[in-house]
Amino acid sequence: MSKIRLNVLGISYSQTQTGAYALVLAEEDGKRRIPIIVGGFEAQAIAIQLEGLKPPRPLTHDLFHNFAQTFNINLIEVIIHKLEEGVFHSKLTCNNGVETVEIDTRTSDAIALALRFKCPIYTTSEIIDRAGIVLDFEQESDEYTDAGSDRKKEVEIKDDIGENKLSDLKTAELNQLLQQAVKDENYEKASKIRDEINRREAN
């Protein structure tokens, strides 16, 4: 299995879903990013660690870290190993000095723990090929070129577009909208568009 290392780029607030956030992971040696929708509690746990803040009392992930360190259990790495129906699945690789074991976990929890243990985060080449968003704003599809002109056609789509409307768009329009969403750093919207494109490619 080919592993690709990821870095936590940041968290952006959801503009359409109350209490939800987009966690953005960036390919270490490339341009692709993976947006993952997480809840408010998980976003807080990740953001606190990213900002180097120390809460007065340990949060759940801090408790897990302290417990593991007390009993000489180390988190070696986190790997996002499966993407199923839009949900990312992850596992923790842990070692207690005697044996190495893998533990199934939610991806948001895995990232929160990886930041505390300062361990690497990986995914597979298959997942980043399916879910990664390439940051290449210069490249546009030839489908947008008018006959006899270098002018590109603009696809006008409202910011509040719903998932039901995404299904009405052509794939070329979705790809243009995806690039714009990434450029605007609207990663929640980008993830919905990406899921619609992946759904079509799977059919």
**In this structure, what token pair is assigned to residue 16?**
């359409």
Comparing 16-25, 102-111, 127-136, 145-154, the range with the smallest average pLDDT is 145-154
Q: Is the pLDDT higher at 54 or at 42?
A: 42
Terminal C-alpha separation, the chain:
25
| Residue among 174, 176, 101, 121 at smallest CA distance from 4 | 121
Q: Is 178 exposed, middle or buried (0-12, 13-18, 19+ CB in 10 A)?
A: buried
Percent of the chain clearing pLDDT 90 (strictly above): 40
Q: Average pLDDT, stretch 30-58?
A: 87
- What is the C-alpha separation between 98 and 95, in angstroms, rounded? 7
The backbone torsions φ and ψ at residue 184, rounded to the nearest 5 degrees and listed phi first, read -80, 0
Q: What is the pLDDT of residue 159?
A: 42
Q: What is residue 111's predicted lDDT score, i.e. its pLDDT?
A: 97
Distance CA 95, CA 79 (A): 15
The pLDDT of residue 32 is above 60: yes
Domain ranges of the chain: 3-131, 138-202
Better-scored residue on pLDDT, 202 or 97 = 97
Closest CA to 114 of 4, 3, 7, 192: 7
Q: What is the DSSP string of 144-179?
A: GBPTT--PBPP----TT--HHHHTTS-HHHHHHHHH
- Res. 103 pLDDT band, cuts 50 70 90: very high
The mean predicted confidence, pLDDT, of the chain is 80
The answer to whether 80 and 107 have CB atoms below 8 angstroms apart is yes
- pTM (2 d.p.): 0.69
Assigned CATH class of 3-131? alpha beta
The pLDDT tens digits for 143-190 are: 333 333 333 333 333 344 554 578 888 888 888 887 777 666 565 677
Decide which of 183 and 123 is more confident. 123
Answer whether residue 124 shows pLDDT above 70: yes
pLDDT at position 174 is: 82
